[in-house]
Structure 1
Amino acid sequence: MNQMVERFSEWLEAQKGKKLFIKKGEHSTGMENISDLDTISISLESISLRQSKQSSLDDYLPHQELILHGNGEIHGNEKDSPLPNQSFEIPLDETFRFSTEGNAVNVHTEKAVYHLSPH
Structure 2
Amino acid sequence: MKQKTHTLHTARSKNNCPTCFGADGLEFTFTQEEKETPFFKKPALEIENKLFCHTCNNKIYPVNWTEDIERVFDYNKKIAETNKQYLKVKPLFYIMVVVALVIVAAGVYFLIPTL
Is TM-score (shorter-chain normalized) higher than 0.5? no
Q: TM-score, normalised by structure 2?
A: 0.25
Q: TM-score, normalised by structure 1?
A: 0.25
By percentage of residues, which structure has more strand?
Answer: 1
By percentage of residues, which structure has more helix?
Answer: 2
